Amino acid sequence: MPFTRITVREGWSESELQTLSYTLHEVLVAEFSVPPRDRFQVIDVLPAQRLIYDTHYLSGGRSERYVLLHIVAGKARTTEQKRLTYQRLSERLQRQLNLNPDDLMIIIQQTHAENWSFSGGKMFELEMIPSDLK
- CATH at residue 109: 3.30.429.10
47 a catalytic residue: no
Q: Which of 63, 54, 48 is nearest to 102 (CA)?
A: 63
pLDDT at 20 (0 to 100): 98
Q: What pTM does this model have? A: 0.89
Count up the domains in the chain and report the number. Answer: 1
Give the 3-state secondary structure of residue 126.
helix
Phi, psi of 13 (to 5 degrees): -80, 160
pLDDT at 125 (0 to 100): 72
Mean pLDDT of the chain: 93
Output 129 or 111, whichever has higher pLDDT: 111
Give residue 21's domain range.
3-133
**Active-site residue, from 2, 35, 36, 101:** 2
Residues with Cβ within 8 Å of 42's Cβ and at least 6 positions away in sequence, in order, are 3, 4, 5, 6
* Amino acid letter for position 112: H
| 43-84 pLDDT, tens digit each | 999 999 999 999 999 999 999 999 999 999 988 999 999 999
Residue 95's pLDDT band (cuts 50, 70, 90): very high
